[in-house]
A and B are shown apart, each in its own frame.
Chain A
Amino acid sequence: MNSRALGGWTRYTVAMALLGLVLSPALWLVLMSFRHNSDTMATALAFRPTLHNYAEAWTSEFANSFGHSVEASIGSTLCSLLVGVPAAYVLARWRFRGQHQVAMWILVTRMAPPIAFTIPFFLAYTYVGLIDTVAGLALIYVTFNLALVIWMMKGFFDAVPRSLEEAAWIDGAGVWGAFTRVTLPLAAPGLAATAILCFILSWNDFFFALILTRTEAMTAPVAIVNFMQYAGFEWGKIAAGGVSVMLPVLVFTVLVRRYLVSGLMAGGVKE
């Protein structure tokens, strides 16, 4: 498939057609969310759109759950950045014994199946009263966000020339003074991308929230699944909830698409 075999317009047409095919299942859910309840069974493409499903979803417990999702995701992102960013800087600037072991540890943390965390966390949370709290959820999201922050930010700090920090040191700044005034501002775009990826990862979680929350801290994905438990599946409402949950992610993805590879690889490879 080089340029001669598949030139200009043919390539574009094939690409667009494939994209349409790939996205059609998702578009169907969006369409469904705008259908009248009486129509959800119908599969005709033409219908009179309504916001009724959104109104129904957003006046139920789903609205609160959406708030919990926002709180847990932002809380976890901030904590992970606060702890992970200085560590990333140290790893970028300092060689020490055991670095390989620390790297492997962080990699396995990112790889470990969530069930391995959930069993001990569930028991510990029951004991200390963090079950069904947003704080508890934010804390368990740190297990995967911290590894992501450390590896992504290390890459961005590697790219900042040391000479700039050294100049700041000569001007009398301490290690962390130079870091906050010189290095961090230069890595700001990377910091933003990392924050957004942390947010998306926390936002997308279903498994932890399903097990560690009940009613008080239930997140939006769990609330949608709860819609499915009522007899006669309210498909319109379910679809409206699903679309509401995916919208923030779509917006953020457009913002960070350039960093997706390094983010998702988090520590495995250097691109």
Chain B
Amino acid sequence: MAAETPLDRAAAVGPVPRVPHLGVAPRGWAQVQRRALRWGLAPALTVLALVTLAPAIWLIVSSLTPLTPTRPGSLDFSQPWQNYEQAFTSPEFVRSVWVQVKLSLVTVVLQLLIGLGIALLLERPSRLLETVRTGFLIPMVLPPIVVALIWKVLYTPAISPLHSLAAFFGVPFHSLIANADTAIWAVAVADTWEWFPFTMLMALAALQMVPKEPQEAARIDGASAIQLFWYVKLPYIRGTLVVAVLFRLIDSIKAFPLIYILTDGGPGGATEVTNYYAFVQTFNFAYWGYGAAIAMLLVAGVFILSLFISRAGGGMMIDE
């Protein structure tokens, strides 16, 4: 009790009905406070442990077994690495990783360019543009299943306005999602539509933080709009854009409803990303252990990307 403040004393002598241990606590208010705060954190950490740590341990354990619910005794650790070996030698798994990489890169690049472009268009302070901004957010907040429905309609020739427009102009085309060469691009377009608002929102937030003085100075010196963007704004917003891209990369690994509704991973595995592959192996074929191993590999990928986020976020990391 070296530095007892007036506050400590006031608290210690005041009527404090909520702190019954005050009399026996030798260190007084500071300790009472610590204990109270610990009780505030404990339930959250317990729940987090229950809903995240326990499943994580179970996932690791079951990924080392050929577990399948239909066969009792399949929780067997005699060949712990067989699922992982099987994954890396399975052409389907390797293909799913390539599909994933292709889809992730294409969508994230498109989302970055479109989001940034629209953010630059909307960045000026104005009531009208503010309303327009909210309008652009709609694709991102819609339930993913509704997004999938919207694009299912557009990609189904019999009811699609796109297909009837094309037919009207004399350039009819076949279903994009039923063709192995175009299916992944069709999914990429839908995914870009759904998520460009995210990069737009991040870019807008960053653009508003760019100080005005250097922009004024550049303008007075006669910088063109492109120069102003490239030399003045971009250096300020680069960090945020990197974080936005990483967030999108991570989320793109989880893509599910679009693929489930539009293509079901097909045709012939052309849109079967790794997440979808794990889903099919686990819940359609009941290879639980194998599915768990694939899920572990996905978690590892996500973890590595998360590390990059906290690195790239640098000073922005929330825990200071």
Q: Which residues of A contact B (CB under 8 A)?
A: 1-6, 11-12, 14-16, 18-19, 22-23, 25-26, 28-29, 32, 40-41, 43, 83-84, 86-87, 89-91, 93-94, 99-100, 102-109, 111-121, 123-124, 126, 139-140, 142-143, 146-147, 150-151, 154-155, 166, 169-177, 200, 203-204, 206-207, 210-211, 221, 224-225, 228, 235, 238-239, 242, 245-246, 249-250, 253-254, 257, 260-261, 264-265, 267-271
Contact = CB atoms under 8 A, between A and B. Distances in A.
A139 B58 CA distance: 17
B16 A172 contact: yes
Contacts of A261: 201-202, 205
A43 B124 contact: no
A249 B141 contact: yes
Given A14-B121, A15-B132, A267 B318 contact: yes
B122 A253 contact: no
Contacts of B310: 104, 107, 268
A105 B51 CA distance: 12
Given A84-B44, A166-B7, 19 more contacts: A4-B225, A11-B121, A86-B44, A87-B44, A103-B319, A111-B302, A113-B298, A116-B56, A116-B296, A116-B298, A120-B55, A171-B14, A172-B15, A172-B16, A177-B18, A210-B260, A225-B145, A257-B134, A267-B318
A188 B138 CA distance: 26
Given A22-B136, A174-B16, A249-B143, A113 B62 contact: no
B11 A170 contact: yes
A113 B275 contact: yes
Given A12-B128, A257-B137, A271 B225 contact: no
B72 to A, nearest CB: 14
Given A28-B153, A119-B288, A15 B261 contact: no
Interface stretch (B31-39, B83-91, B105-113, B173-181): B31-39
Nearest to A177: B18
A200 B154 CA distance: 25
Contacts of B11: 169-170
B54 interface: yes
A86 B41 contact: yes
Nearest to B141: A253
Contacts of B243: 265, 268-269
B149 A29 contact: yes
Mostly helix, strand, loop or mixed at chain A's interface? helix
30 contacts: A1-B120, A5-B224, A5-B225, A18-B121, A25-B153, A26-B142, A29-B150, A43-B160, A87-B41, A102-B45, A108-B303, A111-B302, A111-B305, A112-B52, A115-B278, A116-B299, A123-B62, A169-B10, A170-B7, A174-B32, A210-B260, A211-B283, A221-B145, A225-B145, A239-B153, A242-B150, A249-B141, A261-B202, A268-B247, A269-B317
Closest 6 CB pairs of A and B: A174-B18, A87-B44, A120-B55, A175-B36, A86-B40, A221-B145
A26 B161 CA distance: 12
Contacts of B170: none
A140 B51 contact: yes
A154 B318 contact: yes
Contacts of A83: 43-44, 47
Report the interface size class on chain B: 35 or more
B50 to A, nearest CB: 9
Given A172-B16, A269-B243, A115 B124 contact: no
B299 A221 contact: no
Most buried by B among A23, A207, A249: A207
Given A28-B153, A154-B318, A115 B275 contact: yes
A257 B146 CA distance: 20
A134 to B, nearest CB: 17
Interface in B117-160: 118, 120-122, 124, 128-129, 132, 134-139, 141-146, 149-151, 153-154, 158-160
Contacts of B278: 115
Contacts of B198: 264
A127 to B, nearest CB: 11
B257 interface: yes
Contacts of A155: 318
A1 B229 contact: yes
B291 interface: yes
Contacts of A3: 124
A18 B118 contact: yes
B228 interface: yes
Nearest to B319: A103
A200 B138 CA distance: 13
B90 to A, nearest CB: 17
Given A1-B229, A177-B18, A206 B145 contact: yes
